[in-house]
Copies of this chain bind each other. A is one copy, B any other.
Amino acid sequence: MRRPQDTLVRELLKLCGRPEVISFAGGLPASEGFAVEAMRRAADEVLSQMPVRALQYSYTEGDPILRQAIADFETSRGTPTSADEVMIVTGSQQAIDLIARSFIDAGSRVLVENPTYMGALQTFRNASPEFVPLPHDEEGLNPAAIDSSFAGARFAYVMPTYANPTGMTLSEERRIALCQKARELDLWLVEDDPYGELWYDKPAPKSLRHWAPERTLRLGTLSKTLAPGLRIGYVCGPKEALNVLSLLKQTCDLHTSTFAQLTAARVFTSGALEEHLPQVRALYKRQAQAMLEALEAHMPEGIAWTRVEGGMFLWMTLPETVNTTALFKRAIDAGVAFVPGQAFYAAGDDTHHMRLSFATVPVDKIRTGVERLAGLLRAAL
């Protein structure tokens, strides 16, 4: 049997469970943000009104009711989408796996932000690609620096909105420029957007798919807006591409839980989701602000962090002399945890960053945790 690579970070993160540790290392959404009552009502209605549809085998592409609900949702966010441009998957993680298996041959080039989502890198690695980092500057991914040497790559995997791990958002101008480059170089774009709905003050820019629908596979999920336990994600893209992913999905799990799909669909179509989202946004905004204020108040000189405008994460940059992986165990002893930045790099050996999540930490603990972290960093500098 082939054993997938286990990571150092996975080992480290096991230490975060100690009760005295305030953990900013989590990647979970806040469970206070789950629309429990709406789902309870929806599940009951589904099993009362359409039990056979909810419980029998179904289409690999997803139940038409949910595909239509998501098409309408995407359309309401500014990108006209039809139900046959939507495919349902078992969490957007499954879309990453299907795309990896459909697009990548051993040694083929895949363009990634550097750093990027660890779970995507791990999944892509199953197919043994060569990762090529996309050019960045202080505003994030820099399309102007993408030249013809990037042509021939299988796709560019991009998280343009409130990214994991950096918290950064690509400007509309750069989105348009990236799509233009993709067209010139005939590149597919894989737009992973788990956090886009979690804006604090104003909605995120329009999706990449809006600007290049013919070459974008846009991954969405209900894990951060409704609940991850449903395992409902989706892919929007050209029908022909979805057909290919769907034939592969059939061999992976036949289809995604119809019961979960129809329960989710009802939360969309009843209006409960749109009613619920403002509370979720307010929750994350409150906690993000608490962290930003505490960082401002306590962090020593020479440390920078992203001024996040949405999502669950921020990214801290330390002087190059500090190795955050080495620092991790001392942080645990000091009662605070983060994810060492190293985990998120596909290439290179960048070790002076850390990812902080405020998503599941109450405001008072955020303050205490940041104070502990600041004390540790003052000692380290």
Contact = CB atoms under 8 A, between A and B. Distances in A.
A326 interface: no
Nearest to A122: B251
A259 B230 contact: yes
Contact of A40 (B48, B247, B254, B255): B48
A247 B6 contact: yes
A34 B6 contact: no
Nearest to A232: B257
B4 A247 contact: yes
Contacts of A34: 51-52, 55-56
A132 interface: no
Interface in A244-295: 244, 247-248, 250-260, 263
Contacts of A36: 47, 51, 55
A91 B254 contact: yes
Contact of A253 (B3, B4, B97, B241): B97
Interface string A89-107: 1110110110001110000
Interface in A33-58: 34, 36, 39-40, 43-44, 47-48, 51-52, 54-58
A91 B249 CA distance: 12
Contact of A260 (B51, B255, B260): B260
Interface in A90-130: 90-91, 93-94, 96-97, 101-103, 119, 122-123, 126
Nearest to A4: B247
A155 to B, nearest CB: 10
B244 A257 contact: no
Interface in A62-100: 89-91, 93-94, 96-97
A252 B252 contact: yes
A47 B54 contact: no
A229 interface: yes
Q: Which of A227, A256, A258 has the most CB of B within 10 A?
A: A227
A14 interface: no
A258 B229 contact: yes
Contacts of A39: 47, 55, 259
A180 interface: no
A231 interface: yes
A252 to B, nearest CB: 5
A28 interface: yes
A93 B52 CA distance: 21
A2 interface: yes
A379 interface: no
Nearest to A259: B229
A89 B252 CA distance: 11
A1 interface: yes
A31 interface: yes
A260 B93 CA distance: 18
Nearest to A102: B1
B31 A52 contact: yes
A251 B57 contact: no
Which are the 8 A-B pairs with shortest beta-carbon distances?
A55-B227, A55-B229, A229-B258, A40-B47, A123-B251, A90-B253, A231-B257, A4-B247
Given A29-B56, A89-B253, 10 more contacts: A1-B244, A31-B56, A55-B229, A57-B229, A90-B231, A93-B252, A119-B251, A123-B251, A231-B253, A257-B260
